[in-house]
Amino acid sequence: MDFSLPPRVADAVGKVRKLFETDVLPLEAELLRRKSFKAILPELAAARQKVKAAGLWAPHVPVEWGGMGLSLTEHARISEELGKSPLGHYLFGCQAPDAGNMELLLAHGSPEQKDKWLKPLAAGDIRSCFSMTEPDLPGSNPTWLGTTAARDGDHYVINGRKWFTTGAEGSAFAIVMAVTNPEAPPHLRASQIIVPTDTPGFRIVRNVSVMGEPGEDWASHAEVDYENCRVPVSNLLGPENAGFFLAQERLGPGRIHHAMRWIGIAERAFDMLCRRAAERPMSPGKRLADKQIVQAWIAESRAEIDAARLYVMHTAWRIEKEGQHEARDAVSAIKFFTADVLTKVLDRAVQAHGALGLTDDTILSWLWRHERGAHIYDGADEVHKVSLAKRILGRYGVKDLDSPSGVGAPLGRVRDK
Ligand SMILES: Cc1cc2nc3c(=O)[nH]c(=O)nc-3n(C[C@H](O)[C@H](O)[C@H](O)COP(=O)(O)OP(=O)(O)OC[C@H]3O[C@@H](n4cnc5c(N)ncnc54)[C@H](O)[C@@H]3O)c2cc1C
C-alpha cells in the first residue's frame, strides 16, 4: 500500500504551507485582535487574489469551473492543511456551506442555474447559504420539516422559519429545504429550491449569538424567515421531492471535508500542546513536559489523530472507488470518531495552557467556541452511532429497531427517484 502523496498534492501542500506563513496566520492574528470578520474583509479579498495567483483556488472544483480539479482524496489532504487556521477554507474558496452548495449545483443544477449561480460562486464573487434546520423541529430528523413550498402556477411560494443558516448574512442566495408534497412518504416530501436573498419575503431575523459571539458575514448563523417567498419553478434543484436524497448526497463528501478540516485543527492544537509542554517552566529546572500525565496526553493525541486521518482517508478512497452508498458505514463512523478526537486533543491543549488557554491571546479559545459544534452539525454524533449500529445489527438479523431520524436511509440514490 502506497501512502505517499501524488506529486501535485505534495506540491500544493508545500505552497499552502508557505501562504499560511506569509498571509493566513498574520490575518488570523488580525481576526483575533479586531474580533470582527467584517473588519478584515478587504485584507481577506487581497489574500484570496494571492491564492488564485498561486493556482490554489477552490481545490474541490473542476478545472473548467475555475478550481484545481482535485479528487476527493486529494482535496481531503489539502483540507487538513487549510483546517489549521479558521480562515484557511475561506481564503482558498472551499468554505462551508458554499463548497457543498457548489457540489450540489455541479451535480444537479440546470445549465441556467450553473451559469447564474455556480459560476460566480465558484469564482468567489458571491456567497451562499443552506437553509434546512428549523428552530421548532429536530434537525436530527430531516424528513420532518415545517417549511412549505406550495406550487402556484409557474412559481413556488415558500413559507417557514429556519435557523442556523450559516453565512446567510451577505449571501446572494439560499438553498432551502421545503415540503413540496406533504402527502408523500417522509423521505419524498421535500425539495431543494434556490431562493435569491433579495426575494421579497426573505428576511434575516437575527444572527444567532453562539458561545458569546454575535457573528457577522460568513462567520455567522442566522435565523431566517421565509414569508410568501415567490420563486420560479425553474429554481428547483434536482427532481421535485428529492430534497432529502440531495441533502444526504451533499453530506457525504462534505463529511470528508469537515473531518479532514477537524484533523487539521487537531494538528494545530497538538503542536500548541507540545510547544507549551516544552516551554512552560513548572518549578526550577522542571518543565510541563516533565509531567508524565502530559506525556500521556501527547502520546495519546498523536495516536488518535493519526488513526483518525487514516480512517477518513480510507473512507474518502472508498467513496471514490465504491460510491457513497457502499461507504455509508464508514461515513457515519468518521463523523463521530473524528469529532471526538478533535475535541479531546483541543481540550488537552487548552488544559496544558492553564488560564491562558481560556483567553483570546491564543487561537485555542476561538477554536473551542467554534468547534464544539462538531458533535452537533452534519448529523449529531448520536444519530450516526444509532444508524451505524442499526445497520450492523441488521446484518445479525435484528430488524425491528426504531429509526426516528431517517438518517439510515440510502445515500446517493437521487437519480433513482
Ligand atoms: C455551527 C453550526 C452550523 C450549522 N450550520 C447549518 C447550516 O448551514 N444549515 C442548516 O440547515 N443547519 C445548520 N446547522 C444545524 C445542524 O444541522 C443541527 O443543529 C443538527 O442537525 C441537529 O439538529 P438540532 O439542533 O435541531 O438538534 P435535535 O435534532 O433537537 O437534537 C438534539 C440532540 O438530541 C440528540 N439526538 C438526536 N437524535 C438522536 C437519536 N436518534 N438518538 C439519540 N440521541 C439523539 C443529540 O445529542 C442532539 O444533539 C448548524 C449547526 C451548528 C452547530
| Domains, the chain | 7-109 (1.10.540.10), 128-237 (2.40.110.10), 244-416 (1.20.140.10)
Cα(383) to centroid of ligand 1, in Å? Answer: 9
Residue 415 has pLDDT above 50, yes or no: no
Beta-carbon count within 10 A of 22 CB: 10
pLDDT reported for residue 403: 64
Spell out the residues 6+ positions from residue 249 whose beta carbon is closer than 8 angstroms to its own. 104, 107, 324, 411, 412, 414
Whether 253 contacts 319, CB under 8 Å: yes
Counting from 1 in the atom list of ligand 1, the atom nearest the Cα of 403 is 41
Residue with cell 484545481: 68
Q: Please give the mean pLDDT across all residues of the chain.
A: 94
Whole-number pLDDT of residue 46: 98
The pLDDT tens digits for 338-365 are 999 999 999 999 999 999 999 999 999 9
Question: Does residue 406 have its Cβ closer than 6 Å to ligand 1?
Answer: no
Q: What's the pLDDT score for residue 409?
A: 42
Mean pLDDT of 375-386: 94
User: By alpha-carbon position, which residue is closest to atom 22 of ligand 1?
Assistant: 139
- The pairing of strands 128-131 and 173-179 is parallel
pLDDT at 417 over 50: no
Hey, is 93 helix, strand or coil? coil
Mean pLDDT, residues 211-224? 96
Kindly provide the b/e burial profile for residues 199-228, where b requires at least 16 CB atoms within 10 angstroms of the residue's own CB: beebebeebbebeebebebbbbbbbbbbee
Q: What are phi and psi of 104, to 5 degrees?
A: -60, -45
Residue 248 C-alpha to ligand 1 middle, in angstroms? 14
The 10s digit of each residue's pLDDT in 237-279 is 999 999 999 998 877 778 898 999 999 999 999 999 999 999 9
Task: Give the span between the Cα atoms of 103 and 92, in whole angstroms.
Answer: 16
Mutate to test the pocket of ligand 1, among 177, 368, 372, 383 (most ligand atoms within 8 A of CB): 383
Residues 74, 313: Cα–Cα separation, whole Å: 9
Tens digits of residue pLDDT in 70-124:
999 999 999 999 999 999 999 999 999 999 999 999 999 999 999 999 999 999 9
Query: At 88, which helix (H) or strand (E)?
Result: helix 88-91
What is the pLDDT, as a whole number, of residue 249?
81
Q: Given this model, what pLDDT does residue 412 score?
A: 36
Predicted confidence band of residue 405 (pLDDT cuts 50, 70, 90): low
Ligand 1, atom 9, lies closest to the CA of 165
Cβ(274) – ligand 1 distance below 6 Å: no
**Distance of CA 368 from the midpoint of ligand 1 (Å):** 18
Q: Indicate if ligand 1 lies below 6 Å from the C-beta of 128.
A: no
Sign of CA dihedral 353, 356, 360, 361: negative
**What percentage of residues in the chain have a pLDDT greater than 90?**
91
pLDDT tens-digit map of 187-202? 999 999 999 999 999 9
- Please state, in angstroms and rounded to a whole number, the distance separating the CA atoms of residues 309 and 301: 12
What is the rounded distance in angstroms from the CA atom of residue 160 to the CA atom of residue 45? 34
